[in-house]
Structure 1
Amino acid sequence: MTMLLAIDQGTTSTRAIVFDRHGNKHAVAQRELPQHFPQPGWVEHDAEQIWQDTVACVRDALTSAGLAADGVAAIGITNQRETTVVWDRATGTPIHRAIVWQDRRTSAFCQQHQDRGTWLNEKTGLLLDPYFSATKIAWILDAVPGARERAEKGELAFGTIDSWLLWKLTGGTVHATDATNACRTALFNLHTQDWDDELLAFFQVPRALMPQIRDSASDFGRTDPALFGAPIQIGGIAGDQQAATVGQACFSPGMIKSTYGTGCFMVLNTGDEIRLSKNRLLTTVAYRLGGKPTFALEGSIFVAGAAVQWLRDAVHLIKAAGDTEGLAKSIDDTQGVYLVPAFTGLGAPYWDPEARGAIFGLTRDTGIAHIVRAALESVCYQTRDLLMAMNNDAVAPTELRVDGGMVVNDWLTQAMADILQIPVVRPQTVETTALGAAFLAGLQAGVYQSLDEISALWQEERQFAPAMPAQRADTLYAGWQDAVARVRSANAT
């Protein structure tokens, strides 16, 4: 049986999953990834640990599946996007911890240059925000002594996590990325499909740092034989949300999916049209195959599953993520309690990096269940924020395909259908991010001949229909909007 292996390197964990050609999962290995918070609003990862965990997970998954390296047709890589690594080309050693997509340390630069926002948006489809890689690269080059000079000499390399892993997996022989990751750096021109010299100059990022840009299904080289016993072809790379779009088979314009992991990310396929948003959504590459890009609108929420992690690890209101469903069910409503999880600012459609989280509506009757339920409901409200922006920019979707670890929670998925007032569809395989990476690798390896063949493999597991009256949903959402207004920063636009 033909097997594909996906490396899914996320914000809070690293995983390797073995799939067969039908999309069935045969083995999974996972390691949690610690977060580092050197200052308020700063978030970092140890890139070397990501690399070591990746190797360990691949080895464990192969062992669990009873596979040798030569039994894998190809590897696909999917990754947390925007997270920035700069390393020494000679030694393969990072010169600084990876700066994570959630990090807000470059807020002042972005605020100072908001007059360039329209220019940037027209080239990249993005906003001038600390979220994207460009300002993170510049910060590292300025913060590490001698780094800028070394970068200009070509001694250093930049990569998002996919590039970093590809470099290490191939023994330093391939420095490349794919268009879906490149388009999240704020250095990639959507129209030319290449790095843009004007953007590089504006952010003061030397071109010598940058990886080669390839299609999402492409020949990315082979793994170093010493790693897994034999070389394995690397055939697919896509940023996590674009990989989930492929895994959800959203291949036609108007199809929409939302993934719930650390953050929440909604992607609407717009076909071959670069559609710039009027509602502060992002225009992005959904995937690029055969040199032809398919575009999308995307809404990004910084905190979804991370709110549950906060309940567990920071305030100790729950012992495990699975506790949230029972607590939410134990009460009829939050009694007016709203939790706005703006721990690292607010993403789309607000884009307010200085906003901070808060809980509103507390009374003497408020208990743990109310706060936990409010945290879950915040995911639904933020999703409605994005859906309304999508409606205004493009089309009103008739259903939302959802995936990610959070949607195994039936209560949450039903609450989402209620708040959104459209059906929410959960697929048979909720590991769609990893599955999308495997599909892309399979396309390159010849396991699949077309996107239609992949689309035929997608299967619905359950559909959640709205059960709440629309007026009630609107009232609850109005309360959310009021709560968000209270946490917005004074300089928010």
Structure 2
Amino acid sequence: MSEFYIIGIDQSTQGTKAILFDDHGKIVHRHDERHKQYISELGWVSHDAEEIYHNVIRACKGVIAESGIDQKKIRCMGISNQRETTLAWNRETQKPYAKAVVWQCNRAESVCREIAKTCNPDKDIYDVTGIRLTPYYPASKMAWLQKNVSGLKEDTKDGTAMLGTIDSWLIFRLTHGKSFYTDYSNASRVQLMNLRTLQWDEKLCDIFHVPESALPEIVDSDANFGETDLEGCLEHKIPILGVLGDSHAALFGHNCRREGDIKATYGTGSSVMLNTGRRAVKSRNELTTSLAWKVKGEADYVLEGNINYTGAVFNWLKDDVKLISSTREIEALAMQANPEDRTYLIPAFSGLGAPWWADHASAALIGMTRNTGRNEIVKAGCDSIAYQINDVISAMRQDTGLDIPELCVDGGPTRNKLLMQEQSDFSNVRVKIPNTEELSAMGAACLAGMNAGLYDHSVYDAVTYQCYESQMDSETRTKKIEGWKKAVERVIGRI
């Protein structure tokens, strides 16, 4: 019987999970709640922040009731949240002014165009924040909300309105309005925080027309964010002792806490995140520089590269070109492909992300011959995921001078053994797959537990790994990667 329990919240783009962890860091039970995706005719993506908050409460009530544990043993909670999704709410009523603008929504594109005319985006924004000027970050979304939501601009000036991301919204509501905080991992993604001072930057706030007074206070990721009884679900109040953006929480959950540690999340797209320790590395490849976290008063930094199409390639093979009826077929078909075939799929269905940054690029199959068939195209799709991840890893090695011998991975596509072996081969790394898929919730719970003095480093002993070692010689690796790069350069118009 566990002596205590910790709740880890994973609030993601698609839904919310509440997960109970025991005194050894093992998962006891999980409860999921989905929320609605609002997509307008213009393709704008929104979430109902009220629904998300109530789903957090429902998920917590569900996981406690279904697990049958003694709720008095719940000591604290940690929160992992979808990053960059932005909203405004009223300080007094605690209600949102409008639906939250989701991270992937580009409705603030016009705002970015106007801002680019009034400043030098590279010098005034990228050099200060580590983030390129795009509509996907909160600063431009906050400017858009003030411009388009009736009464909001006036309310932000007089202190009635509050602007923030999902973490600060949940903290505010869970503590009944007593805490208005954001942690450093989330703040560093807003595009208003100065990476040198680690505070909101007055000039940036002026550029984006965001009053600093409307923003949450930035605190350490292991701060005490306040107490909650989960709307009466608990007979006692518990402290919120850890908050991290989802990718940062997964990095912490993987125990990637040293300089040179790296993880890749394989989802619809992919996030590759490298811990650069105490140094904020400016990328020559326009990768994003952010804070991993600030824990015990010490800030660690990360380089991150985001890729548009990785796991979504499998969906394209199944749903669009219908070469497979199930993603489970991919591995067997790809292994039957002609090893001499040199077909490359460049999955630029919505341009290419890091490190190519080719928004104009279109998807293409390069190098097909009369003998290229179903198996070869399926394998080219699988290869394209490993090649793209490797492109980011190579850029990170170039930017930092770090060797990067190991890669921790998570996400559904990691179940594909061929893909994992290819990743090891192409990147010349040991690939490590954990025995749990709940890395974000685990990271948040571990941080909270360590802050409470309930966990130490041994909590990571609960995670075991399946490993893949590179089996490819350097000559073959170089030949394959050079072929991929030439194919990409043809697609983006460089050759």
Shift of 1:386: 0.7
Q: Tell me what 2:185 maps to.
A: 180
Q: Tell me what 2:297 maps to.
A: 291
Does structure 2 conserve the Cα–Cα contact (< 8 Å) formed by 1:425 and 1:460?
no
Does structure 1 conserve the Cα–Cα contact (< 8 Å) formed by 2:57 and 2:230?
no
1:153-185 deviation digits (Å, cap 9, x = unpaired): 222222222122222222333221100000001
User: Which one-letter code corresponds to 2:169 in the other structure?
Assistant: W
1:277 partner SS: coil
1:457 partner SS: helix
User: Residue 223 in 1 paired to residue 228 in 2?
Assistant: yes
Query: In structure 2, which of residues 458, 467, 471 is the aligned counterpart of residue 467 of structure 1?
Result: 471
User: Residue 419 in 1 paired to residue 426 in 2?
Assistant: yes
Alignment: residue pair count: 487
1:377-431 deviation digits (Å, cap 9, x = unpaired): 3321211111111111111211112123332332321221122122211233342
Q: Tell me what 2:461 maps to.
A: 457
Q: Structure 1: where are the runs of 5+ without partners?
A: none
Q: Tell me what 1:191 maps to.
A: 196
Does structure 1 conserve the Cα–Cα contact (< 8 Å) formed by 2:185 and 2:221?
yes
Does structure 2 conserve the Cα–Cα contact (< 8 Å) formed by 1:427 and 1:458?
no
1:449-485 deviation digits (Å, cap 9, x = unpaired): 5xx455x537542211123344444444344434444
Q: CA, structure 1 residues 339+242, in 2 after alignment: closer, same or farther (shift >3 Å)? A: same
Q: Tell me what 2:403 maps to.
A: 396
Q: Tell me what 1:164 maps to.
A: 169
User: Which one-letter code corresponds to 1:5 in the other structure?
Assistant: I
Q: Structure 2: where are the runs of 5+ without partners?
A: none
Does structure 2 conserve the Cα–Cα contact (< 8 Å) formed by 1:29 and 1:58?
yes
2:228 partner SS: coil
Does structure 2 conserve the Cα–Cα contact (< 8 Å) formed by 1:102 and 1:302?
no
Does structure 1 conserve the Cα–Cα contact (< 8 Å) formed by 2:278 and 2:299?
yes
Shift of 1:71: 2.4
Q: CA, structure 1 residues 481+146, in 2 after alignment: closer, same or farther (shift >3 Å)? A: farther
Tell me the distance in 2 between the aligned counterparts of 1:146 and 1:430: 43
Tell me the distance in 1 between the aligned counterparts of 2:483 and 2:141: 35
Query: In structure 2, which of residues 244, 254, 271 is the aligned counterpart of residue 248 of structure 1?
Result: 254
Q: Which moved more, 1:119-128 or 1:335-344?
A: 335-344
Does structure 2 conserve the Cα–Cα contact (< 8 Å) formed by 1:249 and 1:458?
no
User: Residue 210 in 1 paired to residue 212 in 2?
Assistant: no
Shift of 1:366: 6.7
Tell me the distance in 2 between the aligned counterparts of 1:96 and 1:340: 38
Q: Which moved more, 1:461-470 or 1:363-372?
A: 363-372
User: Which one-letter code corresponds to 1:66 in the other structure?
Assistant: G
Shift of 1:136: 1.3
User: Which one-letter code corresponds to 1:412 in the other structure?
Assistant: L
1:233 partner SS: strand
Does structure 1 conserve the Cα–Cα contact (< 8 Å) formed by 2:180 and 2:216?
yes
Tell me the distance in 2 between the aligned counterparts of 1:363 and 1:40: 40
Q: CA, structure 1 residues 407+331, in 2 after alignment: closer, same or farther (shift >3 Å)? A: same
Q: CA, structure 1 residues 240+63, in 2 after alignment: closer, same or farther (shift >3 Å)? A: same
Does structure 2 conserve the Cα–Cα contact (< 8 Å) formed by 1:312 and 1:320?
yes
Tell me the distance in 2 between the aligned counterparts of 1:489 and 1:157: 45
Q: Tell me what 1:79 maps to.
A: 81
Q: Which moved more, 1:375-384 or 1:302-311?
A: 302-311
* Overall identity of the aligned pairs, in %: 38
Q: Tell me what 2:412 maps to.
A: 405
In the TM superposition, what are the counterparts of 1:228-307 in structure 2 within 5 Å? Answer: 228-230=233-235, 231-307=237-313
Q: Which moved more, 1:145-154 or 1:214-223?
A: 145-154
Does structure 2 conserve the Cα–Cα contact (< 8 Å) formed by 1:217 and 1:441?
yes
Q: CA, structure 1 residues 69+280, in 2 after alignment: closer, same or farther (shift >3 Å)? A: same
Q: CA, structure 1 residues 339+107, in 2 after alignment: closer, same or farther (shift >3 Å)? A: farther
In the TM superposition, what are the counterparts of 1:355-394 in structure 2 within 5 Å? Answer: 355=361, 357-358=363-364, 372-394=378-400
With normalisation by structure 2, the TM-score equals 0.88
Q: CA, structure 1 residues 279+21, in 2 after alignment: closer, same or farther (shift >3 Å)? A: farther
Tell me the distance in 1 between the aligned counterparts of 2:113 and 2:487: 24
Does structure 1 conserve the Cα–Cα contact (< 8 Å) formed by 2:409 and 2:431?
yes
User: Which one-letter code corresponds to 1:133 in the other structure?
Assistant: P
Q: Which moved more, 1:351-360 or 1:157-166?
A: 351-360
Q: CA, structure 1 residues 392+32, in 2 after alignment: closer, same or farther (shift >3 Å)? A: same
With normalisation by structure 1, the TM-score equals 0.88
